[in-house]
Structures are given as C-alpha cells and as structure tokens.
Amino acid sequence: MTTAVTQRQEPAGAPPGAGSRRLTERVFRIRESGIIAVLLVFVAVTTAIQPAFLNEQNLKFLLINTTVYALLALGETMVVVSRNVDLSIGSVLGLSAYVSAGLFGPHPGLPVPVVFLAGLGIGLACGIANGLMVAIGRVPSLVVTLATLYIIRGIDILIVGGNEVVAQTLPNSFTSIPRASVLGVPYLAIVIAVVIGLGAYYLRSFRSGRELYAIGSNPEAARLAGLPVGRRVLAAFTASGGIAGLAGVLWAAQYQTVDSTAGTGYELTVISAVVVGGVAIFGGSGSAVGAAIGALLLSSINSALNVLGISQLWLEAISGFLLLLAITLDRVISLRLQAALRRRSAGVGT
C-alpha cells in the first residue's frame, strides 16, 4: 500500500527570497546613506544661510572638534554592536587627559609619544576592568560602566585635587598637534579619519570583528556556535577604554587646560552620535563610519549654531531630539520591513 501524496503546484517564478533581499538591502542602504544625506543637506542649508560656515577657519575648527567625538564613537561602536554599552568613556577621557598632560609639569622634556602611551595605558586599564566585570560577572554593562563612570571620575577628582593642568606647562610640540595641517586640512583629522577607517575595516573584514556583530545580533546563538563571547566582549571594552584614553590625550592637546571636569557628559553625546549614525542600540548592525558621521553631524550642528548666531544652548535639545528621531525612524522602518517580508513569504510558494 502506498500513500499517494497530493501536492499543490509550486508557483514558478523568481528565485525565492530575491525580492526580499532587494527590499532589505534597499532599506539598509537608505539608513546608512541617509545619515550622509542629512549631513549634506544640513551643510548645504546652513551654508546657504551663512556662507561663512564653510570657510577654512570654521571647517578646521569643526574638524578638530569632531576628532575627539569621532574617536570615542569608534570605541563605543565596538561595544554597542555587541549589545553592550560603555558609559565610562567620559570619565576615562578626563582621567587620561589630566594624568597624561600632567606629566609635562614635573617632566618638561618628556617626549610626546610617551605621554600618548601613558594615556593609552590608563585607558586600557580601565577598559580591561570594565570588560572583565561584564564578561565574567555576567552583570549588564549598563550597570558596570555606570559604576565605573563614578569610580573613575572620583579617582580623577582625587588626583586632580584642586589643581589643573595649565597651558603653559605644555610644550609646543604637544599643543601644536591639533593645529598642524597639511594642505589646509588639519593633520589630526586625517589621522583620525584613517584610524576610524581602519577600525571600520576591522569590524567589517576580520573574523573577530564580525563575531562582535554576531554576539550583538543573537547572544544565545553566539554561545551555541561556540564563539568566544567573553573574550570578544573583553576585547571590545578594552578597545573602547584604550581609545578613550587616547582621546583624553588629544583633548588635553586641544583644550590645554585640564581640570577635573574634563569629559563630563561626553558618554551620552557619543552614544547619541553612534545611534544617529545607524548603530542599533541593541547591537548587531551599524558601522563605525556611520557612527563617525553621526559625530560629525552633531559637531556640525554645534558649529552651525555658532555661525548662525543661534545660542549654543539649543545644541543639547537638538541632539536629544535627533536621537529620538533616529531611533523612532529605525523602529518604524523595521516594523514596516518585517510586515512586508511577512506578506511576501506568506504569498510565495507556501
């Protein structure tokens, strides 16, 4: 006896899923290029109103301002992509800025690279501490880095006492770093752009970088697949800390007066930049380049306010609003996309 199975005809047609792929790709490309488009539109509009926006002086200033945030955005991207968050970067920056630049006081002839190494070292130490607690302790990174935000800032305050690093103590070789330029473009901006490019390349084209995305996209699947989750998360936080340390040294070179408030509040601005730049707050997608563009956008808004004569006081509100707008749009788009995909797969061959 056989059981004859009557089946329905499968509809012939396009390769399964091709339409869905095009749809999702289109949507993602919109997101990533969207931020660039917004930036360009913004610059265009501002320049139309006030051509001084694009003059050399202003651009230089803008680029310099962006470098610290963009650098921090790189480190934060690595963490956020893995479904974590690092709230301590502002405190790390502050500590590093003071300690590293403060080395010039008692050691005036110190070679500049040593100072950078000092800042890097401080940052790495903080990052490793964060990473170990998150990876081993299985405590949410929000809480851990909230605590270290406090602790590191407190250490900074204790070390600083009532002092500050004063511009005079800093050698020219140090303070000229942000100002040096090549063909009119600040040297520093180029270096940072390269660094960010390298970082983005790492995240995109190296196994350990991709694993960070996997961990953020589905932590359980990552564990099941045998990915070294703890190690990767530790690495991400270490990188974030180290980058914040470096950013601290740059900050000192730029602003030259460092007290215990350096870097306060930076973490939230950076997270805003990162999310606006297309990195999903729950991880799994986004790029460091997008995040850097987000930082650039926020800086541009800052600069535009300056140039347009609008009070700087609007910046905070605008950046908060942009963040809300970005995540709302992302959510709405994602819901529509899911509904569309559901309708498609319901109709195709099933």
Partner 1 sequence: MEPDRHRLGVAAQRALRWESGLALLVVAIVIFGAVSSAQFLTPTNFFNTGVTSGEIAIMALPMTLIIISGEIDLSVASILGASSALLGYLWSRHWPMLAIFVMVALVGIVAGLINGLLVTRVGLPSLAVTIGTLALYRGVALILLGPNTISNFPASYTNIGVIAVPRTDIPWNVAIFIVLAIIFGTVLHATATGRSIFAMGASPEAALFAGIRVKRIKTTLFAVSGLVCAMAGVLWTFRLATAVQNNGLGLELDVVAVVLLGGVSIFGGKGSLLGVVLGVIAFAALQNALLLTNFNQEATGIVIGALLLISVFAPNVASFRRAAVPRWVRGRFGAQSSSIGADHD
Partner 2 sequence: MTADGGSAPGGREPGGREPGGREPGGREPGGREPGGREPGGREPGGPEPGGREPGGREPGARGPHGNQPSAPPGPAATPTAAASAPATPVLALEHAVKSFGAVHAVVDGSIELSGGEAHALVGENGAGKSTMVKLLAGVYQPDGGSLLIDGQPVTLHGPAGAQDAGIAVIYQEPTLFPDLSVAENIFMGRQPLVAGRRIDRRRMHTETGQLFTRLGVRLDPGRVSRGLSIADQQIVEIAKALSLDARVIVMDEPTAALSAAEVARLFEVVRTLRAAGAAVLFISHRLEEVFEICQRVTVMRDGRHVLTSELAGLTADDLVRAMVGRQMEERTAGERGAPGERVLLVEHLTREGVFTDISLEVRAGEIVALAGLVGSGRSEVARALFGIDRYDAGRVVMRGRELRRASPTAAMAAGIGFVPEDRRQQGLVMDMSVQQNVALASLGRLRRGGLIRSAAERAFATDWAVRLNLKYGQLIDPVSRLSGGNQQKVVLAKWLGRSPALLIVDEPTRGIDVATKAEVHRLLARLAAGGMAILMISSELPEVRGVGDRILVMREGRLTAEFGHADASEEKIMAAATGQHQEQAS
Single residue of 76, 86, 211, 267 touching partner 2 by CB under 8 A: 211
- Residue 225 interacts with partner 1 (CB under 8 A)? no
Interface positions, 298-337, toward partner 2 (CB under 8 A): 337
Q: Residue 28 CB, nearest distance to partner 2 (Å)? A: 7
Distance CA 307, CA 312 (A): 10
- Residue 231 interacts with partner 1 (CB under 8 A)? yes
Q: CB nearer to partner 2: give 264 or 345.
A: 345
Q: Are 348 and 18 in contact (CB under 8 A)?
A: no
Single residue of 227, 276, 295, 304 touching partner 2 by CB under 8 A: 227
Q: CB nearer to partner 2: give 216 or 263.
A: 216
Q: CB nearer to partner 2: give 16 or 105.
A: 16
Which SS3 state, helix, strand or coil, does residue 258 take? strand
Q: Residue 79 CB, nearest distance to partner 2 (Å)? A: 16
Distance CA 93, CA 35 (A): 27
Kind and range of the H or E run holding 297 = helix 288-307
Distance CA 209, CA 247 (A): 22
- Residue 18 interacts with partner 2 (CB under 8 A)? yes
Interface positions, 127-146, toward partner 1 (CB under 8 A): 133, 135-140, 142-144, 146
CA distances (Å), 250 to each of 50, 151, 184, 287, in order? 30, 22, 19, 23
Distance CA 291, CA 62 (A): 16
- Residue 223 interacts with partner 1 (CB under 8 A)? yes
Q: CB nearer to partner 1: give 124 or 144.
A: 144
> Which option in partner 1, partner 2, none does residue 335 bind, with CB closer than 5 to 8 A by kind?
partner 1
Give the pair of three-digit tokens for residue 168.
Answer: 């005079």
* Helix, strand, coil percent content, the chain, rounded in steps of 5: 75, 0, 25
- Residue 320 interacts with partner 1 (CB under 8 A)? yes
Q: CB nearer to partner 2: give 142 or 221.
A: 221
Single residue of 255, 285, 305, 327 touching partner 2 by CB under 8 A: 285
What are the residues facing 165 on neighbouring strands? 258
Give the pair of three-digit tokens for residue 38.
Answer: 């917004």
* Phi-psi category of residue 155: left, alpha or beta, with phi > 0 → left and psi -120 to 50 → alpha: alpha
Name the residues that contact partner 1, by CB under 8 A.
85, 133, 135-140, 142-144, 146-151, 153-155, 157-158, 161, 223, 228-231, 260, 264-265, 268-269, 271-272, 275, 281-282, 311, 313-321, 323-324, 327-328, 331-332, 335
